[in-house]
Structure 1
Amino acid sequence: MTIKEDQQLSNSEYLDSRYVASNGDDPIHEWFRSFEHLQPFLGKNLLEQPGRAAQDNPKVLHLGSGDSVVPAELAGRGYKDQLCDIAGIEWKRVDVRDMPTVSTGSIDVAFDKGTLDAMIYGSPWSPPDEVKENTSRYLKEVHRALKDDGVFLYITFRQPHFMKLLLNPDNIWNMEMEVLGDGGTFDYYGYVIRKSKPQ
């Protein structure tokens, strides 16, 4: 993929044109991993977590859900307080770098599977200033929206040594990462990111 093609992924109009072809029941493209592949990670960090289990009714913010089936799978497991595009679930179309309709400190779980990655293009060693600015705005906005005990679950294919600098340049997060391998040749990474506690 060329830098120009990679850069197109950061354009909402480009992505909208792809999703227009989806019928809603059958996604045209499930980015990165299916719900089935993510279930062990989500089980540990969402489904089985006290305060985040379905019966606790946590507010889940899907950051760029596209036509992923993850929101529907969570709804089927009892997660009704989700911000995304699915019948019976509240839907808000916003720029993830500026979400004025999402109240400060209102989100229990923020979930990203491809949105942040779509903002990143160019050299991983020295990302363009635009990439650093957009990712910083996005992450500060997620930080603002999360409750103090909230969690940001982030799935990426990008190597951790490149991502850690983009994810936490202002040292506002505590991060844990696990490899989401399935024996294939291409690993994915699951981050569990929490607000840093004030010193």
Structure 2
Amino acid sequence: MGGADCNSTDFGAAAYWDARYSSPSTGGKGRGGFFDWYQAYPALRPILRACVPTSSRVLMLGCGNSLLSEDMAKDGYEDIVNMDISSVVIEQMKEKHMDIPQLTYMQMDVRDMSLFADGSFDCVIDKGTLDAMMCGDDAPHGASRMLAEVARITRPGGIYI
């Protein structure tokens, strides 16, 4: 990322991510079809296995086109809901993973997850979404709204990673 066409305030906007996932030069389908922020599943597996039983209902915030959910499903995780603000990447991932029933994909804004009931998830995984929210036009208010929603939809005793 970077350059004259990349403004940090874009990171909280759906239009930025739709354009990113549509362009082969910035991580879209033409560049291998995936991008993992920070760490891939092999590095995260020991932590996830220690903290998150495979029977847990997991929400992946800002899933993008990461391989994390796919790798978790291959490793025995049974129910992973993936959400992203970008309708472009959600459609790409729905198509890519149509044969993996453990994975569900939804276009949604983390600042308003009202489609989910209180306490819907055992675990919420965030691998860069809060960082992106802190670069948005409404930061830190948007980040605060996101974290309030995460707290609401995580079951009592659940975990936010």
TM-score, normalised by the number of residues in structure 1: 0.62
Which portions of structure 1, spanning 4 or more consecutive aligned residues, are displaced by more than 6 angstroms?
none
**Gap runs ≥5 in structure 1:** 47-52, 123-127, 154-199
Change (3 A) 1:132 1:12: same
> Residues 34 and 67 of structure 2 are in contact (CA less than 8 Å); yes or no, is this contact kept in structure 1?
no
Which 10-residue stretch deviates more, 80-89 or 63-72?
Answer: 80-89
Higher relative contact order (CA 8 A, sep 6+): 2
Query: Would you say 1:94 and 2:108 are equivalent positions?
Result: yes
Query: Helix, strand or coil for the counterpart of 1:91?
Result: strand
2:40 aligns with 34
**Gap runs ≥5 in structure 2:** 83-92
Tell me the percent identity: 31
Alignment partners' CA distance in 1, 2:155 and 2:33: 31
Cα drift, residue 40 of structure 1: 3.0
Cα drift, residue 29 of structure 1: 2.3
Query: Helix, strand or coil for the counterpart of 1:131?
Result: coil
Alignment partners' CA distance in 2, 1:17 and 1:82: 25
More helix by share: 2
Query: Would you say 1:71 and 2:85 are equivalent positions?
Result: no
Alignment partners' CA distance in 1, 2:51 and 2:106: 24
Alignment partners' CA distance in 1, 2:59 and 2:159: 10
> Which deviations, in whole Å up to 9, do the C-alpha atoms of 1:16-55 show, x marking residues without a partner?
2222344499444211112222223323322xxxxxx21x
2:143 aligns with 135
